Chain A
Amino acid sequence: MTTYHLEIRVRPRPGLLDPEGTAVHHALDSLGFPGLSEVRIGKIIDIAVDAESESEAVDLVEAMCRKLLANPITEDFTIVHRTDPALAGGAS
């Protein structure tokens, strides 16, 4: 068993109203930052999971996303491997 550190990024689906992103967009505009065309806000979930292999760990986390972590009606998710030990919180 190895402990795998995975990062899950959950985002509002494209085209879906994201009022939080819009509000931050306006705030950045009013601060004078140029060239801004879009701001979307999602969330990051860090998971450490014990598994026999990396693909098993990813399968497990994907199942977690489908069942609980993301709402398929409104959100998309991506799973990112966290190889940087600093990002992995030094747990491994």
Chain B
Amino acid sequence: MRVAVVTFPGSNCDYDCYKALQLFPELEPVFVWHRERELGPVDALVLPGGFAHGDYLRAGAIARFSPVMSAVDAFARSGGLVVGICNGFQVLCESGLLPGALLRNDTLRFRSHDVHIRVETVETPFTSAYSEGQVLRMPIAHGEGSYYADPNTLAELEGEGRVVFRYVTSAGEALPEANPNGSAHGIAGILNRDRNVIGMMPHPERAVEEILGSTDGRGLFESLASVLRGAVA
């Protein structure tokens, strides 16, 4: 199964995503440059982290109009699986594929350290390998990760089980001190309404091997692999 890693000028987690996907023999990562108008035969997409187009204007604002984005939009709207990590999440919000926006961290600091997040739902193609309530440890690295949406959207996300990951303490409690950036409801990752597009600020691709300090991110790619395997079988 081919998984495209969509790369923009300024993406810097593209190779990490490529490597993480390579850990699963059934997944064949391919790079797709942002100027491409077609994705080719792919089964899923990853929008990696970085600073696409320098994050000028707003993070993701310019990337959202890259030539490749109409193909990404069509792929997502036809039910294709799309993972947006960090800058990829920002691009998905700017493009309207995910609701809300990511604002400057409330601490005004670029936060680069491990966090704990809790798996809020396993009813997704991206978290089926985890168990509900499982606490994962993986890094964040962002300056604009404070998730914002209006109260109605937040209520909808919560009510429809579309909050996938929430910042928690190592004991799994959603306390304000566990929230690294001021995200509404401690939200670290969300789904679109059709549950085929996920956006998250933490970096699962940086937590896939012991040498990286955590393997808790593997489950995301494992879930993706198993869903794609099922789709073919």
- A contact set with B: CB distance below 8 Å: 16-17, 19-20, 23, 68-69, 71, 73-74
Contact = CB atoms under 8 A, between A and B. Distances in A.
16 contacts: A16-B103, A17-B146, A17-B148, A19-B105, A20-B108, A68-B57, A68-B61, A68-B62, A68-B65, A71-B58, A71-B61, A71-B94, A71-B101, A73-B100, A74-B103, A74-B148
Nearest to A73: B101
B90 to A, nearest CB: 11
B94 A19 contact: no
A26 B104 CA distance: 17
A83 B101 CA distance: 35
B149 interface: yes
Contacts of A16: 103, 148
Given A17-B182, A68-B61, A74 B106 contact: no
Contacts of B58: 71
Given A17-B106, A19-B104, A19-B108, A73 B182 contact: no
A23 B65 CA distance: 32
Nearest to B146: A17
Interface of B: 57-58, 61-62, 65, 94, 100-101, 103-108, 146, 148-150, 182
B108 A23 contact: yes
B101 A69 contact: no
Nearest to B106: A19
B5 to A, nearest CB: 25
A69 B57 contact: yes
A19 B109 CA distance: 10
Contacts of A23: 108
A91 to B, nearest CB: 22
A19 B61 contact: no
A74 B101 contact: yes
Nearest to A12: B103
Contacts of A20: 104, 108
B148 A19 contact: no
Nearest to B94: A71
Nearest to B182: A17
A24 B46 CA distance: 37
Nearest to B58: A71
A27 B107 CA distance: 15
